[in-house]
Chains A and B, each alone.
Chain A
Amino acid sequence: MSTQGLRTEEFTVNMGPHHPSTHGVCRFVLTMDGEVIIKAEPVIGYLHRALEKICENRTWPQCIPVMDRFEYCTGMSTNMVFALAVEKLAAVEIPERAQYLRVIMLELNRIASHLIWYGTTALDLGAITPFLYAFREREDILDLFEMTCGQRLTYNYIRIGGVAKDIPPEFVPKCKKFLAEFDQRVDDYEGLLTENPIFIARNKNVGVLSKEMAVAYAVSGPSLRASGVRHDLRRDDPYGIYDRFQFNIPVFHNGDCYDRYKVRMQEMRESAKIVRQALEQMPEGDITARISAAFKAKAGEVYSRIENSRGEMGVYIQADGKSKKPMRVRMRGGSYNQLQVMPEIVKGHKIADVVAIMASLDIIMPEVDR
């Protein structure tokens, strides 16, 4: 058979918006040569809910439930970042106990979010069992949240001036029990994947994000720390009472999927450490500052940022000082920048690596589309 006249052709695959591993409704237009990616183009906007605009039509406290939907894997963080911004504008003093409760909830939420990441990463690489292991512990955390604020996903718990409710008496023992077992559980997770040769082969040197590129694209959070930049807002720009806790900031230097995996695994242990310290130091007292529901923030603008499980999460607010509503709200989510860096680092990889890289960057779409 003559091969003359035969030719190979690039072809386009539409990955998403309904695809099992694009974590929500992200769409990639992949130009491929066989299995190799030549070009990847993310198409976003499928989950756009105009949250920023919605906030402009609501009073300050009414914005908190909207914030829950901003990034639904870490509802506590989104509440927190908005509350912080408004508190800065209004110069509200937060009671001590509320500060500690916030830290406890934020860190538990970080663990829960990382557990989702761990489960879905394994799932995207074809291992189904770790997913169910991770969700078992996540369930414990969600139970804790449920007994505190009655919600399992959109918490609406951290409010302007403090928190919504005090924790019930059974919270502390249950949380302590969870923390006592948790390190062992993380060992279990690591036992399933960390040293697994297939897992290593799929992740080592895949999707390398160099330090320079990470900084240039303003990638933040664990994905940045896996590229060798020691940057964590909990330490570099402490908000709340984070300066009172002892914890390590895991940093790795290769910037590949495997390092991003290791950073997050260690972060879970560090978060557990913070919760333990917070539980011990937590004083009795008020849980919220006294502010009226119809209060008006002073005129001005403010940007508040926190270290979320997916990088820097920020809210920029403008207030005119006259109405009860924000004049302009703008949100920033870490996933947005992580998604922008995807087309750069998936080039030349296989289609299976796109999935692995997307999982390791921990992109979720509500944060991108808002």
Chain B
Amino acid sequence: MELAGVFKYLYEQLAATGLPQVWVDIIALAVLAVVIFGFLALVVLFLVWVERKVSAHIQQRLGPMRTGWHGWLQTIVDAIKMLQKEDITPVTADRPVFYWAPIIAFVAAFLVYIVMPFGDGLIVSDLNIGILFILAITTFTVISLLMAGWGSNNKYALLGGMRSAAQVVSYEVPMVISVLPVILFVGSLSMVDIVQSQAQIYQWYVFRLPFGPIAFLMYLISATAEINRTPFDLPEAEQELVAGFFVEYSGMKFAMFYLAEFINMFTVSAIGATLFLGGWQGPLLPSWMWFLIKTFGLVLVFMWFRWTYPRVRVDQLMEFSWKFLMPVGFANLILAGWMKYSGWFNW
């Protein structure tokens, strides 16, 4: 009995009550949304704690230790504190823009999970444009960052917002290019199809030499930039821009940005796991567990990056994207296309 079965059973019970079909669908979807929201909230709480522990151990200290066993309650306590904080809006802020920015960031981060295959059959909706949908939705983040930067009416925030707009737009391109070889081989944009084409470990796209590893590395790099983490955390560069676009945010609005940030990290890891590491495919363990293992593995890689690298400068960031990643990505795409065409490595 898999988790998918549970959902299916609930849906059937609901349908059996004799409600009109529309209502059944709405209730079912609402339940799913709440479940996913709860799951993501838990994931974020866990990730924040993991981040603190990982950073602490990289830096030869212990991290939170006082609240619960090895501080596992720390993020819950922090979240409670955050909820109690006063929600300050600067007098000079552009109120509607300032107000909606964190909500858009959060919704954009959340929407992606409509097409995320958590396990065998564990997917809200298997859209036939799955990966395209994800790439389109994640771009929404940039709008929220721009809104936050502009709406705060603060120079640091504006600089941060502008930086992030430039950054996310420039790294969107290599990210898409790094995903294209996979789509080329699968022949479908559906997330489920992508996972199912990687049934055996040698079929994982990361192991398909020579284009697979290159695409995967490119994906990792551009994803790091997409989610604004070190070495590409310029939009919120603490030492230069104090806190970048969310310098004026406090309380729950700040928490929403924070939440969105960690959800985004989980998202890009999940996409990476799905596209390159076989998604939920794996022996013995239930499929959703494999999905989580792979995703958290990638999350750890992102954390490892963050706590070891310095930050690049804004012009170097752009140069790296346009002058290095793009040519490499296109060459890789051509290579993959040629391989597909010539029929080599078509496992």
Residue positions of A touching B, CB distance < 8 A? 11, 13, 19-21, 35, 122-129, 132-133, 136, 192-193, 196, 198-199, 201-202, 350-355
In the complex, A125→B231 CA distance in Å? 10
Nearest-CB distance from B162 to chain A (Å)? 8
Do A132 and B237 have beta carbons less than 8 Å apart? Answer: no
> Cβ of A21: which chain B residues have Cβ within 8 Å of it?
239-240
Choose one: B237, B310, B312; the contact of A122 (CB below 8 Å).
B310
B59 beta carbon closer than 8 Å to chain A: yes
In the complex, A19→B310 CA distance in Å? 19
In the complex, A133→B242 CA distance in Å? 23
> Cβ of A11: which chain B residues have Cβ within 8 Å of it?
155
In the complex, A192→B242 CA distance in Å? 24
Do B60 and A136 have beta carbons less than 8 Å apart? Answer: yes
> Cβ of A353: which chain B residues have Cβ within 8 Å of it?
313
B 290-328 to A, binary, CB cutoff 8 A, 1 in contact else 0: 000000000000000001111111111000000000000
> Cβ of A133: which chain B residues have Cβ within 8 Å of it?
59-60
5 A-B pairs besides A125-B239, A128-B59, A133-B60 with CB distance below 8 A are A126-B230, A198-B310, A202-B316, A352-B311, A352-B314
In the complex, A133→B55 CA distance in Å? 12
Contact sample, A vs B, 21 pairs, CB 8 Å cutoff: A13-B159, A20-B239, A35-B315, A123-B239, A125-B311, A126-B233, A126-B310, A126-B311, A127-B309, A128-B59, A129-B55, A129-B58, A129-B308, A132-B59, A132-B60, A132-B61, A133-B59, A198-B311, A201-B313, A202-B316, A355-B240
Q: Which 8 A-B pairs have the closest CB atoms?
A: A126-B311, A127-B310, A132-B59, A125-B310, A21-B239, A124-B239, A352-B313, A126-B310
In the complex, A92→B314 CA distance in Å? 57
B2 beta carbon closer than 8 Å to chain A: no
B 213-241 to A, binary, CB cutoff 8 A, 1 in contact else 0: 00000000000000000110110011111
B205 beta carbon closer than 8 Å to chain A: no
Do B307 and A129 have beta carbons less than 8 Å apart? Answer: yes
B 154-177 to A, binary, CB cutoff 8 A, 1 in contact else 0: 011001000100000000000000
Do A355 and B239 have beta carbons less than 8 Å apart? Answer: yes
In the complex, A352→B238 CA distance in Å? 10
Do B237 and A352 have beta carbons less than 8 Å apart? Answer: yes
Choose one: A126, A352, A355; the contact of B231 (CB below 8 Å).
A126
Q: What total of chain B residues lie within 8 Å of the partner, measured CB to CB?
A: 29
> Cβ of B231: which chain A residues have Cβ within 8 Å of it?
126, 198
> Cβ of A35: which chain B residues have Cβ within 8 Å of it?
159, 163, 314-315
> Cβ of A123: which chain B residues have Cβ within 8 Å of it?
239
> Cβ of A129: which chain B residues have Cβ within 8 Å of it?
55, 58-59, 307-308
> Cβ of B230: which chain A residues have Cβ within 8 Å of it?
126-127
In the complex, A124→B55 CA distance in Å? 17
- Nearest CB in chain B to that of A121: its residue: B310
In the complex, A192→B309 CA distance in Å? 8
Choose one: B240, B307, B310, B314; the contact of A196 (CB below 8 Å).
B310
Chain B contacts with A in 32-87, Cβ cutoff 8 A:
55, 58-61
Do B307 and A128 have beta carbons less than 8 Å apart? Answer: yes
Nearest-CB distance from B121 to chain A (Å)? 42
In the complex, A10→B316 CA distance in Å? 22
> Cβ of A125: which chain B residues have Cβ within 8 Å of it?
239, 310-311
> Cβ of A350: which chain B residues have Cβ within 8 Å of it?
313-315
In the complex, A129→B307 CA distance in Å? 6
In the complex, A199→B310 CA distance in Å? 6
Choose one: A13, A20, A198; the contact of B155 (CB below 8 Å).
A13
Nearest-CB distance from A185 to chain B (Å)? 12
- CB-CB under 8 A for A126 and B239, given A192-B308, A198-B231, A198-B309: yes
- Nearest CB in chain B to that of A21: its residue: B239
> Cβ of B242: which chain A residues have Cβ within 8 Å of it?
19-20
In the complex, A370→B11 CA distance in Å? 74
Nearest-CB distance from A112 to chain B (Å)? 18
- CB-CB under 8 A for A127 and B313, given A13-B156, A352-B240: no
- Nearest CB in chain B to that of A126: its residue: B311
Nearest-CB distance from A365 to chain B (Å)? 16
Nearest-CB distance from A360 to chain B (Å)? 13
Do B313 and A202 have beta carbons less than 8 Å apart? Answer: yes
> Cβ of A126: which chain B residues have Cβ within 8 Å of it?
230-231, 233, 237-239, 309-311
> Cβ of A202: which chain B residues have Cβ within 8 Å of it?
310-313, 316
Choose one: A20, A132, A196, A199; the contact of B238 (CB below 8 Å).
A20
- Nearest CB in chain A to that of B155: its residue: A13
> Cβ of A132: which chain B residues have Cβ within 8 Å of it?
59-61
Nearest-CB distance from B313 to chain A (Å)? 5
In the complex, A355→B308 CA distance in Å? 19
> Cβ of A199: which chain B residues have Cβ within 8 Å of it?
310
> Cβ of B307: which chain A residues have Cβ within 8 Å of it?
128-129
Do B239 and A198 have beta carbons less than 8 Å apart? Answer: no
Nearest-CB distance from A248 to chain B (Å)? 28
In the complex, A85→B300 CA distance in Å? 56
In the complex, A126→B242 CA distance in Å? 12
In the complex, A133→B59 CA distance in Å? 7
In the complex, A35→B238 CA distance in Å? 16
- CB-CB under 8 A for A201 and B316, given A133-B60, A193-B310: yes
In the complex, A21→B233 CA distance in Å? 16
Do B238 and A127 have beta carbons less than 8 Å apart? Answer: no
In the complex, A20→B163 CA distance in Å? 19
